[in-house]
Amino acid sequence: MAEFLMPILGADMSAGTLIAWRKKPGDVVKRGDVIAEVETDKGLIDVEIFVSGVLEKIVVQPGQTVPTGTLLAIIREEGALETAAPPAPRPVAPPVAQPEARVVVPPVAPAPAGRVRILPLAKKLAAELGVDPSTVEGTGPGGAITGEDIERAAASARAAALAAPRAEFDREARMRQTIGAAMARSKREIPHFYLATTVDMDRAMRWLAEENLRRSVTDRLLYGVLLIKAAALALREVPELNAVWRGGQCLQSNAIHVGVAISLRQGGVVAPALHQADRQSLDDLMQNFRDLVQRARSGGLRSSELSDPTITVTSLGEQGVESVFGIIYPPQVAIVGFGKIVERPWSVEGRIVSRQVMTATLSADHRVTDGHRGGLFLAAVDRLLREPGRL
């Protein structure tokens, strides 16, 4: 048996609200399937499962808010399908806020105490939809609960789960609190050092203009994609920056999953991952980046996108910011910042010319690396952006 837990989607998450199950008991699930929707400060997240098997039992019902790490469901793993015994009872972490159970007495022919009158098909449906019949008022013969009653209750629970957190909390204030806590922890625990360099963007911007000139509207690239790809490729040269700090040690990642900071319309920021960004073509990166921004702002990020980043890239140039001095997002060990592209006088072989330049910065963890290696990283970013055709 495997446990499906409330995931930790970043250092600033302590609890989540189960909004809906996408699978029901008895359904086959495959590794990577989205099986639940969870509401966090970062919005509605599609939570994936990382084993294959059968959804054996749902433990947490829609509408319940539980701490990270709480058992949400039990999965009978693929290899155990033939021989599995029913799961042993297991203590479950209490929910943070549980809807009040309500046993409704049928108006006619009351059921014996402790029993709920329910039609057989409705009982089956209740199990499938994760509805507790004791909370449902029956409208069938003798007050029995019908299938329609169960469907109505399931729809109502889902609507309440979606509405309640918004009504109870000011999301933006909550997000500010959680970001503040994570950043305070970062500044307290991580010995940051900061580096900056000026990058010549002239070739990159000219290459991009020429490239976009021959592309249709739907296939054009944003310069931000060049920055993400350059940072990802530079990490191959200084791999210790592509890591997480856990259990008192640095765990370097083989895959380069770049978290891209995306501001949300309702306030706050998320930094979901562009997986294996160094291996993606610019076209794929652009398409995936566009999709990520759209889902970050409208709901539908996947849990792995929030838990996988191995470094963060943030770009504030569009807001007119020239230099970004980022705070590392734990458990990552570095954050890269890009500022505004500005036109400046630039010395080239003894001549002063006009150049488009940008300040690139690195905030990194001194427990993992030092200024020399950080400088090599920024030099690699600069070099890569001077050869945009090779990105």
For the bound state, the minimum distance from the C-beta of residue 263 to another protein, rounded and expressed in Å, comes to: 7
Which residue is it, tokens 């008022």? 137
Produce one character per residue of 127-156: b if its CB has 16 or more CB atoms within 10 Å, e if not. Answer: bbbbbebebbebebeebbbbbebbeebbee
- Backbone φ, ψ for residue 209 (5° rounding): -65, -45
The residues that touch another protein, with contacts defined as CB under 8 A, are 209, 212-213, 216-218, 220, 222, 224, 263, 265-266, 289-290, 293-294, 318
**370 an active-site residue?**
yes
Cβ distance 131 to 149 under 8 Å?
no
For the bound state, the minimum distance from the C-beta of residue 222 to another protein, rounded and expressed in Å, comes to: 5
Cβ distance 333 to 245 under 8 Å?
yes
Nearer to another protein, 129 or 292 (CB): 292
Nearer to another protein, 11 or 264 (CB): 264
Q: Is the dihedral of CA 123, 129, 134, 135 positive or negative?
A: negative
The DSSP code for 104 is: P
**366 an active-site residue?**
yes
Catalytic residue chosen out of the listed positions 149, 366, 372, 382 = 366
Cβ neighbour number for residue 286 with a 10 Å cutoff: 20
Q: Which residues are CB-contacts of 9 (< 8 A; sequence separation ≥ 6)? A: 16, 40, 42, 45, 303, 306, 307
Nearer to another protein, 218 or 254 (CB): 218
For the bound state, the minimum distance from the C-beta of residue 321 to another protein, rounded and expressed in Å, comes to: 13
Nearer to another protein, 313 or 334 (CB): 313
CA 371 from chain center: how many Å? 30
For the bound state, the minimum distance from the C-beta of residue 325 to another protein, rounded and expressed in Å, comes to: 21
For the bound state, the minimum distance from the C-beta of residue 205 to another protein, rounded and expressed in Å, comes to: 12
Where in the sequence numbering do the catalytic residues fall? Answer: 366, 370
